[in-house]
Amino acid sequence: MATPALGAGAQLFVIDPIDRLKPAKDSSVALMQAAERAGRPVWIASLADLSAAECPGLLGGRGHGAWVSATPVTCQPWYGLGEPQRLPLEAFAHVWMRKDPPVDEAYLYATHLLELAERHGVTVINRPAALRAWNEKLSSLRWSHLMAPTLVASRVAELAAFTAEHGEVVLKPLGGRAGQGVVFAAAATPGLGALLELVTGMESLPVMVQAFLPGVSAGDKRILLVNGEPLGAVNRVPSGGAGGEFRSNLAVGGQPEATELTPAERAICAELAPALQAEGLFFVGIDVIDGRLSEINVTSPTGIREVERLAGIPLADLTVEKLGRG
């Protein structure tokens, strides 16, 4: 049986439930709508819709390889659903892995299923092996010279010594997202030891601790790179307020503002680009604070809508254009 023809350049987006996506803010929606504008049929699926089979008599003689129960969707206006179909992943020109973290067991197993499809010639964005390898906090350590002073450790004594050395620090859980669980601490913080016990789960999990950068008050810049090229950026300014909120993530109240890239930020992008390209990280969002690399976001980077609105850059359309003719 031949691979079904779904239309030129059909795109599959593996996402969270579509009714939870917010079209005014969500980067996945922006990409889906851009694909539709480019004449590329758009389909959606969840992690649970992915499967693999190795049974020649199954599914009309095509009982092998990676499969998906996918649903066609019209994206403008947002949204309309067609009838689900069971299809080989080979039927799609590109598969976008846009499921939000956490990177849990279900997520990891899905990357293995997508990797099976990749071995059959399917282009997965971002590459499944890279999604597993590039923890969004730890991957930055490949370029530690671009970062603020940083330690990753589980032992309270090591973390406390680092805090004493630098005075003020930020503690980051390695599996966190959108600023969740990020904590400011100082050497003089009462109960610092107890706090370090809490964030490490009594020394059972490593955490990242970084010297606090006061320049974060001026913003945390999200830079979106497509195939290694920076196409746009948005500055996210902490809300501050009575609680002294230092986190700039939009999900915790940070305010987006238009921005331009500095020469130093362009140099960071240029240094990262060869590794991103080599490892199949097509759509990436890096975070830069006061000229220092903070994170490399690869699972489901956000920021498209803010760049489009504040800078007038059609970033989603440019991203789809860079897919080429496939």
Q: Which residues are designated catalytic?
A: 137, 172, 222, 236, 247, 287, 295, 297
Taking a C-beta distance cutoff of 8 angstroms, is the pair 265, 294 a contact? no
Taking a C-beta distance cutoff of 8 angstroms, is the pair 66, 50 a contact? yes
CA 117 – CA 99 distance, rounded (Å) = 17
CA 243 – CA 307 distance, rounded (Å) = 28
* Non-local CB neighbours of 189 within 8 Å, separated by 6+ positions: 195
Which amino acid appears at position 56 of this protein?
P
Q: Judge if the upstream peptide bond of residue 101 is cis by omega within 30 degrees of 0.
A: no
State whether the Cα torsion 176-155-168-223 is positive or negative: negative
Taking a C-beta distance cutoff of 8 angstroms, is the pair 23, 311 a contact? no
Residue 262, token pair as written in the block: 């500095």
- Could you give the angle at the alpha carbon of 26 between the alpha carbons of 297 and 308, nearest 5°? 90
CA 194 – CA 210 distance, rounded (Å) = 18
Taking a C-beta distance cutoff of 8 angstroms, is the pair 311, 258 a contact? yes
Query: Strands 207-211 and 220-226: what pairing?
Result: unpaired
Torsional class of 202: left (φ above 0), alpha (ψ -120 to 50), beta (otherwise): left
The DSSP secondary structure of 153-167, one letter per residue, reads ES-HHHHHHHHHHHS
Please provide the size of the chain in residues: 326
* Non-local CB neighbours of 303 within 8 Å, separated by 6+ positions: 27, 222, 224, 232, 233, 234, 285
